[in-house]
Amino acid sequence: MPNKTPLHDAHVAAGGKMVDFAGWELPIHYGSQIEEHHAVRRAAGMFDVSHMTVVDIQGAGARDYLRYLLANDIAKLGETGQALYGCMLDHQGGVLDDLITYYLADDFYRTVVNAATRDQDIAWMREQAGDFDVDIVERDDLAMVAVQGPEARERVIDVLNAAAAESLKPFRAISHGDYFVARTGYTGEDGFEVLMPESEAEGFWQQLVEAGVQPCGLGARDSLRLEAGLNLYGQDMDTSTTPLESNLGWTVAFDPGDRQFIGRKALEQQKADGVPRRLVGLVMGRGGIPRTGSTVHTDNGEGQVTSGAFGPTTECPVALARIPAGEFEEVEVELRGRRLKARVVKPPFVRMGKVRI
């Protein structure tokens, strides 16, 4: 049986079409994925992301441990609540997961990892702890709601009466009573991701509904993140790909040169040899929708669509694709035996409600 979040009954009561996602029963939509998508781009929508895993890392060795565990360098974090996005790699440089890490104190950090990789992530984190003086604690007592869109912050601040969050900068978080409010998201829009005790989740959700925030499902979350050019673990990257091949080279901190993080040697070797593949954006006409796995033909060989859909905001098909290294203005995507032209662009396709292609 799939796991259920604290908001499960609220989803069912609101008419959510429930599906199994990474072992969790979650709404794919509440009637119209397109309307939910537009609600986030134009006003405010919210997502139940309580299936994601919150892990607190505490102890005198927490900082050194995370500098070894992650390809990005948490030494960049020095202000309470400051956040950093990056990848956790295996020793071959393959991506085990992408996650956000929050600095709460020199000996206290909080990470949020993906539901689909929950068990392997925690097992890996504990295995790599070795002699570091750290405690790794899964916070399964917390729920999480993402509220996104140009009006999202205003709605959350009003509901929580959290005036302190008005001046919160992107990739920063504050504690507000029992709530942890972070100015982060996965849609390409402004907003908050809010952690709270499970017992508070349904009340918070209903208050947001009354404030005019649109409940949204997994379908809109996927189309929004794709338009925003954000990778989905298991599709756009996994252990068979490195950050350098996944448009995430900017998240790898090679400086300082004496910091030894897991996967560093493999990434340095790949850089020296030349990165063989890269993740790009594709824009197509109306002849077909690029789907995951579709073959991409280039002058340097074949690639593959990793994520593709019709973009409700772009009003055209868009995709992320991993293709051979090289500079291309145009490629061909094979759909049902036909080769259709696609323009190569740098993601994102949409940011803060504005089409960028």
DSSP 209-278: HHTTPEE--HHHHHHHHHHTT---BTTTB-TTS-GGGTT-GGG----STT---TTHHHHHHHHHH---EE
Whether the pLDDT of residue 286 is over 90: the answer is no
**Domain match, 270 and 340 both:** yes
For residue 63, the tally of other CB atoms under 10 A from its CB is: 21
Domain ends where: 81, 115, 138?
138
pLDDT of 8? 98
The CB-side HSE value for 20 (13 A sphere, CA atoms) comes to: 4
How many structural domains are present in the chain?
Answer: 3
**Domain match, 134 and 147 both:** no
234 falls within a domain: no
**CATH number of the structural domain spanning residue 351:** 2.40.30.110
Domain that holds residue 264: 243-355
**Domain match, 250 and 347 both:** yes
**CA nearest 115: which of 192, 261, 190, 218?**
218
> How far is it, in rounded angstroms, from Cα 144 to Cα 262?
29
**Domain match, 309 and 189 both:** no
This prediction has a pTM of 0.96
> How far is it, in rounded angstroms, from Cα 12 to Cα 102?
33
Cβ atoms of 143 and 197 closer than 8 Å: yes
pLDDT of 85? 98
Q: What is the pLDDT of residues 312-349, one digit of tens each?
A: 999 999 999 999 999 999 999 999 999 999 999 999 99
Sheet containing 53-58, strands listed edge to edge, beginning at the edge strand earlier in sequence: 83-89, 95-105, 108-113, 53-58, 135-138
The first and second tokens of residue 257, run together, are: 């040169």
> How far is it, in rounded angstroms, from Cα 328 to Cα 347?
14
